[in-house]
Amino acid sequence: MLRERLYRAEAIVLRRMNLGEADRLLTLYTPEWGKIRVLAKGVRKPTSRKAGHLELFTHSRLLIAKGRSLDIVTQAETITSFLPLRKDLTRTSYAYYVAELVDRFLEEGEESPALFRLLLETLGHLSEAQDPRLVVRHFELHLLGQVGYRPELYRCLGCGREIEGEAVFSPSQGGVLCPPCGGKREGSPLSADLLRYLRLLQRREYTLCQTLQPSPEVHSGLERTTRHYISYILERRLRSLDFIDTLRREEEKPLAKEKGV
Ligand SMILES: [Zn+2]
Could you tell me the CATH number of the domain that includes residue 9?
2.40.50.140
202, 140: one domain: yes
pLDDT bracket for residue 111 (50, 70, 90): confident
21, 93: one domain: no
* SS3 label, residue 258: helix
pLDDT of residue 257: 57
Q: Which of 50, 80, 110 is the endpoint of a domain?
A: 80
117, 233: one domain: yes
Q: Indicate if the pLDDT at residue 259 is higher than 70.
A: no
Is 166 within a domain?
no
Q: Indicate if the pLDDT at residue 260 is higher than 90.
A: no
CA-closest candidate to residue 177, choices 192, 196, 162: 162
Alpha carbon of 261 to ligand 1 centroid (Å): 42
pLDDT of residue 239: 82
Alpha carbon of 173 to ligand 1 centroid (Å): 12
Where is average pLDDT lowest: 25-34, 36-45, 180-189? 180-189
225, 144: one domain: yes
Phi, psi of 73 (to 5 degrees): -75, 125
pLDDT of residue 235: 86
100, 61: one domain: no
Higher per-residue pLDDT: 261 or 29: 29
Q: Indicate if the pLDDT at residue 261 is higher than 90.
A: no
Alpha carbon of 222 to ligand 1 centroid (Å): 21
Average pLDDT over residues 10-34: 95
Average pLDDT over residues 228-236: 91
Is 167 within a domain?
no
91, 54: one domain: no
Q: Which of 53, 80, 107 is the endpoint of a domain?
A: 80
Q: Indicate if the pLDDT at residue 40 is higher than 60.
A: yes
Alpha carbon of 97 to ligand 1 centroid (Å): 33
Q: Indicate if the pLDDT at residue 258 is higher than 80.
A: no
146, 28: one domain: no
Is 11 within a domain?
yes
pLDDT of residue 4: 65
Is 137 within a domain?
yes
Alpha carbon of 221 to ligand 1 centroid (Å): 21
Percent of the chain scoring above 90 in pLDDT: 82
Alpha carbon of 156 to ligand 1 centroid (Å): 5
Alpha carbon of 177 to ligand 1 centroid (Å): 5
- How far is residue 85's CA from residue 59's CA, in Å, rounded to a whole number? 12
Alpha carbon of 232 to ligand 1 centroid (Å): 21
> What's the domain range around 24?
2-80
Alpha carbon of 179 to ligand 1 centroid (Å): 7
Alpha carbon of 149 to ligand 1 centroid (Å): 20
pLDDT in tens, 128-151: 999 999 999 999 999 999 999 999
pLDDT of residue 107: 87
Query: Count of domains in the chain?
Result: 2
Alpha carbon of 150 to ligand 1 centroid (Å): 19
102, 231: one domain: yes
Where is average pLDDT lowest: 3-12, 99-108, 157-166, 187-196? 3-12
CA quadruple 247, 250, 254, 259: dihedral positive or negative? positive
62, 107: one domain: no
34, 127: one domain: no
Is 111 within a domain?
yes
- How far is residue 22's CA from residue 166's CA, in Å, rounded to a whole number? 56
Is 69 within a domain?
yes
11, 37: one domain: yes
Q: Which of 65, 80, 95 is the endpoint of a domain?
A: 80
Q: Give 171-235 as a DSSP string.
A: TTTTEEE-HHHHTTS--EEE-HHHHHHHHHHHHS-GGGTTT----HHHHHHHHHHHHHHHHHHHT
Q: How far is CA 258 from CA 247, 253, 254, 255, 261, in A?
A: 18, 9, 6, 5, 8
Alpha carbon of 188 to ligand 1 centroid (Å): 15
- The H or E element spanning position 59 is strand 59-65
142, 26: one domain: no
Q: What is the pTM of this model?
A: 0.91
How many other CB atoms are found less than 10 A from the CB of residue 190? 26
User: Would you call 104 exposed, middle or buried from its count of C-beta atoms within 10 A (0-12, 13-18, 19+)?
Assistant: middle
Alpha carbon of 174 to ligand 1 centroid (Å): 14
Alpha carbon of 228 to ligand 1 centroid (Å): 21
